[in-house]
């Protein structure tokens, strides 16, 4: 079983999302519904309910114990509000040792360099504790904030996928990037 992360940065407490966070996770998505809409799939009304979030959290816990996913919440150290989400998913073992990363940040916190603070701690956990060799990330062509963040983190462009994901009801092209574990 993987070691549970408990990561601290000056502006965030980073840990696995737990069932006790269901209401907070629903609140995070509700207050950011408009902010996230251009970058995410169309969501059903149920998605924004704490009961739906509880089911997702329980599923993510099972995936964590199966070494398939690490769903992290970033919480404000002052008021414990969730301010960001970082999700390492589709973990593949064997000769690949890779996963994908997806992330979001509260609308009130964007543009402050916080993901640049949070992501290195999370990547270090994935590389050092879970021995992941390669983390992959994709971003929509017009998402300049994600492009800049991934470049600053050292992700390298590896390709371009046409009509890659259905985002906000439209099949969108994405840039494919990856970061290789620097100790490998």
In a domain, 32, yes or no: yes
**Residue 137 domain-assigned (yes or no):** no
Local confidence band at 3 (pLDDT 50, 70, 90 cut-offs): confident
Is residue 1's pLDDT more than 70?
A: no
Domain containing 112: what range? Answer: 6-132
In a domain, 55, yes or no: yes
Number of domains within the chain: 1
108 contact partners, CB below 8 Å, separation of at least 6: none
Query: Percent of the chain scored above 70 by pLDDT?
Result: 99
For residue 93, the domain's CATH number is 3.40.630.30
List, as one string, the DSSP characters of 95-150: T--EEEEEEEE-TTTTTSSHHHHHHHHHHHIIIIIS--SEEEEEEETT-HHHHHHH
Which residues make Cβ contacts (< 8 Å) with residue 150, sequence separation at least 6?
137, 139, 177
Would 179 be classed as within a structural domain?
no
pLDDT, average across residues 124-138: 98
Examine residue 167 and state whether it is found in any structural domain, yes or no: no
Task: Round the average pLDDT of the chain to a whole number and report it.
Answer: 97
142 found inside a domain: no
The pLDDT tens digits for 60-103 are 999 999 999 999 999 999 999 999 999 999 999 999 999 999 99
In a domain, 84, yes or no: yes
Q: How confident is the model at residue 170 (pLDDT cuts 50, 70, 90)?
A: very high
Please return the burial class of 173, using the count of CB atoms within 10 Å of its CB with bins 0-12, 13-18 and 19+: middle
In a domain, 156, yes or no: no
């Amino acid at each position: 079983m993987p070691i549970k992360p408990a990561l601290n940065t000056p502006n965030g407490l980073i840990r696995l999302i737990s069932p006790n966070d269901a209401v907070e996770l629903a609140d995070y998505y509700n207050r950011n519904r408009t902010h996230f809409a251009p970058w995410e799939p169309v969501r059903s009304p149920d998605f924004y309910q704490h009961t739906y979030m509880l089911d997702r959290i329980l599923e993510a816990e099972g995936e964590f114990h199966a070494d398939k996913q690490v769903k992290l919440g970033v919480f404000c150290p002052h008021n414990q509000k969730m301010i960001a989400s970082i999700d390492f998913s589709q973990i593949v073992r064997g000769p690949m040792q890779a996963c994908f990363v997806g992330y979001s940040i509260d609308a009130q916190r964007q543009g402050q360099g916080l993901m640049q603070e949070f992501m290195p701690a999370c990547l270090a956990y994935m590389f050092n504790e879970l021995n992941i060799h390669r983390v992959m990330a994709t971003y929509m062509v017009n998402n300049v904030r994600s492009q800049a963040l991934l470049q600053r983190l050292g992700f390298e462009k590896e390709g371009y996928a046409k009509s890659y994901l259905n985002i906000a009801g439209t099949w969108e092209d994405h840039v494919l990037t990856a970061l290789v574990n620097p100790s490998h």
